Amino acid sequence: MMRRMKKEIEDEMLDDDRIGSEFNDEEYDRSARGVLLKKGPWTSAEDDILVNYVKKNGEGNWNAVQKQTGLLRCGKSCRLRWANHLRPNLKKGTFTAEEEQLICELHAKLGNKWARMAAHLPGRTDNEIKNYWNTRIKRRHRAGLPLYPPEVLQQTLHGQSTDGINSGNKVHPDFLQKKNFDIHDAIYDCMKDNQGMLPYVAELPDISAYSNMLNGFDSSQYSSFGQSTSSNHKHFRDSTIPFLDFSCIDRNGYYPFDHIQDDTFYKWTQSFGMQSPLHHAGPSSHSSMCYSHSLKNGNSSTSKPFEELPSIQYPETDLGSWGTSPPPPLLESVDDFIKSPTPISTLESDCSSPQNSGLLQSVLYPRKTPSSSKNQFYGKSSNSSTATPGERADSSALNMYDTEWEESADPVSPFGTSSILNECPAVSANRSSLDEQPPVHTVNGNTVKLEYVDPVWTPDSGNQITSLLNFSRPDFLLGSDWYEQCSGNDQNQSIFYDATSMFLEDQSATDYKHMTAGTSNPSQVREFGSCAWNNMPPVCQVSDLG
């Protein structure tokens, strides 16, 4: 390549006068032993030194390279250079169609396990695959295409593979773009951890629900979550995730977002560089959102009480204080999720993918909203629990999002039109998406309530384990008491799946039917839901069922 040619020419020029010349501080680092080590691009002379060393001594003991050859490179750098560029049998050039297909499959199964993927691609390095994948993400995103081709989806979800790679019919959450929503990582890790203990976990089928939820929501680099480095990856895991109090949803499925309280959501959004619009509400806009998730029977005893912070605590002037964070598409999408109380029957999805994403899809994918909704928030307030179908009054707080985010749609706003997700076609193909429908309606006279639970979880809280569910899981209901109650008869089961399908798309619900088909014992399913997933900090809780 031209760049390489140019580089090599420069290398030769540099090599001659490098030794003995002054060390540029920017190009050299002093090692722990006080040795100056070079950084930056490798020269051909350095390559030669390294190749000769490996020929003579074999791979490994990379730190010895510097000692034995005088090569001013750290061991890590040597290993990387060798592995990625110098070792024999390296295949260079663009990936073939077969390789691309294989990478898709591997990624669907393994996630961002580049080294493991590279093991299946002779001559390719993990770095190469990683770069390819990131590039692919960009391209697919730009093109508005789903990250995974349909055939890969099919193959992966059904445990098929063109290369014989079969991960036991399991799909790594990375398949669901885990880095975009790191909780899946924790979920999967949790499940993995429990596979030995819980035989039915080992039989866990495809997490297609997740895939459907997140399909098309790609690139860690192009979402607010995805911006996360490994550090904020952890941060997310450690974060308390506020969820919506669906007990506030009326029987028509409308969410009165006039119940927002405490600063949890604020903090949460802040943790992603977001500005919680909830705290921009003026004094008149009572907010008392419950970050809880429970099946409510009128007794929300398990709900953690919140202290409402004065709205003035987060003045509207903060609206512009997005800092330097990139646009937070999630929140933007949450906006759509939240602000869309329109009855689903009236909505036509503008999503094109056959893989509807359900809850998270709707959360993660924004849907264009008429600007007419602007400023609705300040004109509307609470008491939306009495909202009737067709009303948007129940979206008072939602419209607050609407308003503020639309107001933010200026060049400096993270929610401006430059948001990359604005360009991304939503992928919801059916109407179960939560941006079109509040996620829970009443079931057996109960409504589902998201309930905040203390993120500090200890084994001592075992009594609560069975009620601790991760709402982010599409199948969280399986772990609830409610499932046990619902599973008693076909009608209840149907209701159960109906409710579940509100969080999932149809296929996902079907998957979960299949999953639970072999686990007919409600207590087992319940245990599955409650134990296998609760090694992670609980995010929500399901309270008693009426």
Partner DNA sequence: AAAGAGTGCAACCGCCTGGGC
Partner DNA sequence: TGCCCAGGCGGTTGCACTCTT
**Which residues bind to DNA, rule: CB under 7 A?**
2-3, 6-7, 29, 32, 38-42, 60-63, 75-77, 79-81, 84-85, 94, 112-116, 126-128, 130-132, 134-135, 138-139, 142, 179, 220-221, 226-231, 233-234
CA 200 centroid distance within chain: 25
CB 387 within 8 A of CB 250: yes
Tokens representing residue 20 in the block? 């003995």
- Long-range residue pairs from 67-75, CB within 8 A, at least 24 positions apart, any chain: 71/46, 72/28, 72/35, 72/36, 72/37, 72/38, 73/37, 73/38, 73/42, 73/46, 74/29, 74/31, 74/37
Instruction: Identify residue 318 by its one-letter amino acid code.
Output: D
**290 backbone dihedrals φ, ψ, rounded to 5°:** -95, 125
DSSP lists the bridge partners of residue 447 as: 296
Q: Name the minimum Å distance from CB 476 to DNA.
A: 25
What span, in angstroms and rounded, lies between the C-alpha atoms of 18 and 27?
11
Q: Name the minimum Å distance from CB 58 to DNA.
A: 10
| 132/471 with CB nearer DNA | 132
What span, in angstroms and rounded, lies between the C-alpha atoms of 312 and 271?
20
Q: Name the minimum Å distance from CB 439 to DNA.
A: 28
DSSP lists the bridge partners of residue 406 as: none
| 142/251 with CB nearer DNA | 142
Q: Name the minimum Å distance from CB 213 to DNA.
A: 19
| 237/431 with CB nearer DNA | 237
Q: Which run of H or of E encompasses 512?
A: helix 506-517
Q: Name the minimum Å distance from CB 135 to DNA.
A: 4
| 180/276 with CB nearer DNA | 180
| 113/120 with CB nearer DNA | 113
Length of the chain counted residue by residue: 546
Q: Name the minimum Å distance from CB 174 to DNA.
A: 8
| 32/456 with CB nearer DNA | 32
Q: Name the minimum Å distance from CB 34 to DNA.
A: 12
| 193/407 with CB nearer DNA | 193
**469 backbone dihedrals φ, ψ, rounded to 5°:** -130, 150
